[in-house]
Structures are given as structure tokens and as C-alpha cells.
């Protein structure tokens, strides 16, 4: 039995896996101790649970447990990585390189660093959402201390060539950070093999709870240090003070362990469903997939429906289907997605795009319903669109001047 509404916005957040919740619950009431309380059994029990979770998280990305610094999520982890490196390596330089399509928290951290006297370069992407590695290398100066490039984009799902970027960073003795929020737990990540120095991830994007994430900080070859952005009792090896969110951390660990076991099956199933959705919707005239199709996450597709306004289209079916027209962090804005604009899309196409992100609990029945509902909505909206009528009559709309009354 199909249950409405259908949730296809898993890149914004995922529902918690019941198996994760089950492991988390006892740490709210039975095992409620402070993990920093070392003088009695209540603290010992929770400290042990945190240590175990740290191992589970580390294993997901082939790191050492001591390299995992727990945070409140990826936004905090990204801030700690960029600002922490900027402060720690100030004597070496003050220049950071990132990309125009990064998450807002990376872009805003760069702006903050500029106010503190640092500088940053944002690399452009091509129409597929990919950076030019030659441009990346050319942007490195003797003052560059960090390159930060996301593992996979949250709006279009493209996966960047992380290993190659890390190799360029290593060649120039520059640190490399990746925001792996959208990729961790969904595709294999190996910080050793990839040569990553710092990596951010968040539990709520991988069927864990909101409010917990981590920053991986490499301990050797090279040993990386970041200056704490939160001062206090010196928790998390002095890099992030504050009483640990034990239930969240336990759940984060459990989510990582489940993902490590199930990501391959999940990816195979979801990419089939995603392709079914995509192929059906591309049968609609003037529909386009945004981003590089052969190098992207298995569960994301971002499609523009020309001559249809995205927000209006979403309103036509948002009682039944939850999707987004941009990143969840900027969706309150009526501006077209800056990620899609960076790909070179005009306002019309950027405004007419919808991101579908599938998840572990998405069913084929839900995808079939979505295909029908969306096809009907696009056709209905085009039927009443004067622009669509002009297009069908062969008028080149880009040459038409619209005069205000």
C-alpha cells in the first residue's frame, strides 16, 4: 500500500534507521553518564560506548579511531577544518583554495577567513559541475595552506576526482580537506588510499540522528593539527571542547557500521530506481539532467524542466512528494541555485530544476507514482504557459523582448 507523502529529499536529511534508534535509546535514560566523568561507572560505561563508536566511524573511511573528532555535524566540522587550519598554519601562509559549488558553510567560512586577513580562490566548474585540475594546480601559491573540495555535490551529485586532487595537494605540500557529507556511507571512501588529510561527515545524511558529525584529522604522514574553535575542557584531543553527545555518537557509530555493510546493495538498488525515474522524466520534451552523469552519486538526479517554474511545479505536487529545488540550507531563498548557475544554466533553467534524492527506504512503487505525478504536473503547467506555446510555434524566446506594462 502506497503511503503518502513520499520522501525524495534524502540529500537534505534521511530518516533514522530503526536499528540505529534501537542502539541509541538506552543512552538517554539507563546509560546517561557524562563520558568525561572518570570517577564512577556511569562515566566509564559511556566513555566505552564513545570509544566503540569512534572505531565504527573510523572504520567506514579506513581511518584510525584517534583521528575522529566528534562535532555537532558537518557545518561545524567544515568550520573547524578551514578556520582551524588557517589559525594553526598561519606562519606558513594564509591562502585557501575551494570551489564555487561548495556548500554554503565552506563558502562562508572562506569569507570569514578573508575578514581575518586571509585570502581564498574559488575555482569555477564546467557545465558538468567538474573542476579543471590544471586550474587547481595553477591557483596554488607559496601562501596556499589548504585545498577544500567536496567529495560529492549535494545538489547535482557529481563526484570530484578526490585522489587526483589529493595528489596535487601533496605535490605542493598543501593540506587537503574534503566535505564528504553527501558521500560518506553511500560510496566507499578510503582516506589512506585517497590521500585525504581532513574529512567532514554528518550522521543525519546516513540514517543517523541530527546534531552529530565528525572531522577526520590525519595523525601521520603528515600529522595534521587544527586550532580549536570551541574552548573549554579540552575534550576531543583539545580540538573540540564540550560535553559529548553520547546518544548521538552511539547512533552515528551504529549508522556507520550498517552503511559499511549495506552501501553496495543500497547503491545498486538506488541507482536502478534513480535511472528509471530519470529515463521516464527525460521523455518529456526539453528536460535535462544537470551535472556529469557518469561520475555521480547513485541516489541523486537533478532535472530541469524548461518552460516550467520549479517552485510552481513543486507546489503542484508537494502535498504528495517531498523534493527540493536546491540545497536545504538555502531553500528559503527565492534566488535560483548558485550551484546550477555555476554550471552556466540561465535563470530560466536554474529556476525550473528539481533535485530528487532517493534513500534506503524508497520503493519502486513510490518511483512509479512520482513519474506519473510529475509528468502530469509538467504537462499541465506547460499547457497554460505562454512561453511553452511560443516555443511550440518555433519562436526563439531568447530574442523576445518583454516590456513592462
- Burial code (b: 16+ CB inside 10 Å, e: under 16) for 142-165 equals eebbbbbbbbbbbbbbbbbebeeb
Is 110 a known active-site residue?
A: no
Which residue in the list 110, 214, 256, 329 is annotated as catalytic? 329
Residues noted as catalytic: 329
Amino acid at each position: 500500500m502506497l503511503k503518502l507523502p513520499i520522501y525524495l529529499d534524502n540529500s537534505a536529511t534521511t530518516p533514522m534507521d530503526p536499528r540505529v534508534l534501537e542502539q541509541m535509546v538506552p543512552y538517554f535514560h539507563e546509560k546517561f553518564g557524562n563520558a568525561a566523568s572518570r570517577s564512577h561507572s556511569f562515566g566509564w560505561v559511556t566513555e566505552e560506548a564513545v570509544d566503540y563508536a569512534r572505531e565504527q566511524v573510523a572504520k567506514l573511511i579506513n581511518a584510525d579511531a584517534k583521528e575522529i573528532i566528534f562535532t555537532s555535524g558537518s557545518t561545524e566540522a567544515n568550520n573547524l577544518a578551514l578556520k582551524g587550519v588557517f589559525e594553526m598554519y598561519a606562519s606558513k601562509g594564509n591562502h585557501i583554495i575551494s570551489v564555487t559549488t561548495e556548500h554554503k558553510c565552506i563558502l562562508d567560512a572562506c569569507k570569514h577567513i578573508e575578514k581575518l586577513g586571509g585570502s581564498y580562490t574559488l575555482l569555477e566548474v564546467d557545465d558538468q559541475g567538474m573542476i579543471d585540475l590544471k586550474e587547481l594546480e595553477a591557483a596554488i601559491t607559496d601562501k596556499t595552506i589548504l585545498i577544500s573540495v567536496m567529495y560529492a555535490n549535494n545538489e547535482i551529485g557529481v563526484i570530484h576526482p578526490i585522489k587526483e586532487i589529493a595528489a596535487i595537494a601533496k605535490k605542493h605540500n598543501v593540506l587537503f580537506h574534503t566535505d564528504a557529507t553527501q558521500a560518506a556511507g553511500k560510496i566507499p571512501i578510503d582516506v589512506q588510499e585517497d590521500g585525504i588529510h581532513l574529512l567532514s561527515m554528518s550522521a543525519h545524511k546516513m540514517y543517523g540522528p541530527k546534531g552529530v558529525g565528525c572531522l577526520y584529522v590525519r595523525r601521520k604522514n603528515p600529522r595534521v593539527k587544527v586550532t580549536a574553535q570551541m574552548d573549554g575542557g579540552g575534550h576531543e584531543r583539545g580540538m573540540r571542547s564540550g560535553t559529548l553527545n553520547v546518544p548521538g555518537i552511539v547512533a552515528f557509530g551504529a549508522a556507520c557500521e550498517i552503511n559499511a555493510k549495506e552501501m553496495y546493495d543500497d547503491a545498486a538498488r538506488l541507482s536502478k530506481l534513480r535511472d528509471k525515474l530519470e529515463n521516464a522524466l527525460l521523455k518529456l520534451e526539453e528536460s535535462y539532467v544537470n551535472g556529469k552523469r557518469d561520475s555521480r552519486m547513485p541516489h541523486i538526479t537533478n532535472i530541469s524542466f524548461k518552460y516550467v517554474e520549479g517552485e510552481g511545479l513543486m507546489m503542484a505536487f508537494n502535498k504528495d512528494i517531498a523534493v527540493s529545488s536546491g540545497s536545504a540550507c538555502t531553500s528559503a531563498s527565492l534566488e535560483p541555485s548558485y550551484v546550477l548557475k555555476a554550471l552556466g544554466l540561465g535563470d530560466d533553467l536554474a529556476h525550473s530544476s528539481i533535485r530528487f534524492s532517493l534513500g534506503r527506504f524508497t520503493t519502486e512503487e513510490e518511483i512509479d507514482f512520482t513519474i506519473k505525478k510529475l509528468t502530469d504536473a509538467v504537462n499541465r503547467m506547460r499547457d497554460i504557459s505562454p512561453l511553452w506555446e511560443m516555443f511550440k510555434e518555433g519562436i526563439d524566446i531568447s530574442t523576445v523582448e518583454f516590456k513592462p506594462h
